[in-house]
Amino acid sequence: MVTPPTLSIAGDDTALLYRQDFVEYPGHYRNLGLAQGPLHLVMMEDLTILGDWNQKIPALEDLNYEDEVILVLDQKDLRFVQSIPRQGILVVADDPINLQRRFTLSNRDPHYMIYGSQNVRGQDTPMLWISQDLADSLLEGTGYNVKQLREIDANLDQDDLRVLEAVLAKHIRYSLEQFKEQENDDLLKECRERSGDESLDHAGASVFVLRELWKRLKETHRLRMVKKY
């Protein structure tokens, strides 16, 4: 991390402590960016996934939280939640010690290209682990706490999805700067020149690189579908 992440709740002057109330989440992809917006709690059981290359999750197709922050009670739900457009994700830590451990953060780009097309999916998502005490504070006024909601979550059936609208009263803002952007300034400059788009940001540059790589592969290699056994 370049600097520790910051987290604040609109209308609440309580000082939230890094590595006590929150910490960066060590996910499969790089963790950086700014997230701000109302909070939305999402709970789910295992969801049906259709397709191999271009996967779809029917239960989530109508969900769009691109202006909101998603709160989940269990990190197992991340494999589904990360397919929903969102500002960011907060994960309630199941063990307080996870807020104090020092994990190696991934540098993996979350953007990927759909096979056989130039459609790019994925997004950079700032993610934090938060303590159960902080989560209970965020849930205040909903009539639930983390323990009660986890009991409900444990009894959900296949493809069940629950969203707690009342949490929208809480407005969250946080940011993570995992890597120094100036380290990629030369690459960003070249991507802007080649694309002709001077407004291209780091996320847009990732998409541009993927598309250029796909064009080059089609010119120099014969691509074929590999059967799945």
pLDDT tens sequence across 13-47: 888 999 999 999 999 999 988 999 999 999 999 99
Under the banding of pLDDT at 50, 70 and 90, the label for residue 229 is very low
Higher local confidence (pLDDT), 154 or 119 = 154
Q: Domains in the chain and their CATH numbers? A: 3-179 (3.50.30), 182-220 (no CATH)
pLDDT tens sequence across 119-133: 777 888 999 999 999
pLDDT tens sequence across 173-224: 877 765 444 446 777 788 888 888 888 776 677 777 777 776 776 677 555 5
Rounded to two decimals, the pTM is 0.75
Would you list the DSSP string of the chain?
--EEEEEEETTB---PPBTTTEEE---SS---EEEEEEEEEEEE-----B-SSS-B-GGGTT--EEEEEEEES-GGGHHHHTTS-EEEEEEE-SSGGGGT--PPPP-----EE-TTS--EE-----EEEE-HHHHHHHHTTTT--HHHHHHHHHTPPTT-EEEEGGGGG-EEEEEEE-S-GGGGHHHHHHHHHHHT-TT--HHHHHHHHHHHHHHHHHHH----PPPP-
